[in-house]
Amino acid sequence: MCAAPDQSVTLPAGTDLTKETVLAGRVLASGSPVAGAFVRLLDGTGEFTAEVVASASGDFRFFAAPGTWTLRALSRSGNGEAVLTADGPGLHTTELAVA
């Protein structure tokens, strides 16, 4: 499995949302998608967990576990954070604004 899978809103075939906890979203600057932002997933203690590069449409996703997560984006358009709580398996989404 690749370490840099294609980031898109369409989940890979075989993703079982009754078992997997997927965190997904879009990086936005003044409402417009930011391509190529570095999106970092931090756990409840602020510990780095994973990082992906947002797609051309600003989309990102992580396969995680239930819990409260912080998403932090770094980009040429600025940085930003959002908190996302996943209470169980399924698709959990958020917008992530940078400025």
Partner 1 sequence: MSRQDVLVTADWAEKNLGTDGIVFVEVDEDTTAYDGGHLPGAVKINWTTELQDPVRRDIVNKEQFEQLLSSKGIADDDLVVLYGGNNNWFAAYAYWEFKLYGHEGVKLLDGGRKKWELDGRTLTTDEVSRPSTSYTAKDADLTIRAFRDEVIDSIGAKNLVDVRSPDEFSGKILAPAHLPQEQSQRPGHIPTAINVPWSKAANEDGTFKSDDDLRELYGEAGLDGSRPTIAYCRIGERSSHTWVVLRELLGHSDVKNYDGSWTEYGSLIGVPIELGTGAR
**Residue 1 found at the interface with partner 1 (CB under 8 A):** yes
Candidate residues 62, 71, 86, 92; the one interacting with partner 1 per rule CB under 8 A: 62
Q: Please report how close the Cβ of residue 19 comes to partner 1 at its closest, in angstroms.
A: 9
3-state SS, residue 67: strand
Rounded-to-integer distance, Cα 79 and Cα 20, Å: 28
| Per-residue binder mask for partner 1 (CB under 8 A), 64-93, x = binder | xx------x-xxx-----------------
Residue 61: alpha-carbon gap to chain centroid: 4
Candidate residues 63, 82, 89, 91; the one interacting with partner 1 per rule CB under 8 A: 63
Nearest to 67 by CA among 83, 80, 51: 83
Instruction: Record the tokens describing residue 58, joined without a space.
Output: 């600003």
Q: Please report how close the Cβ of residue 69 comes to partner 1 at its closest, in angstroms.
A: 9
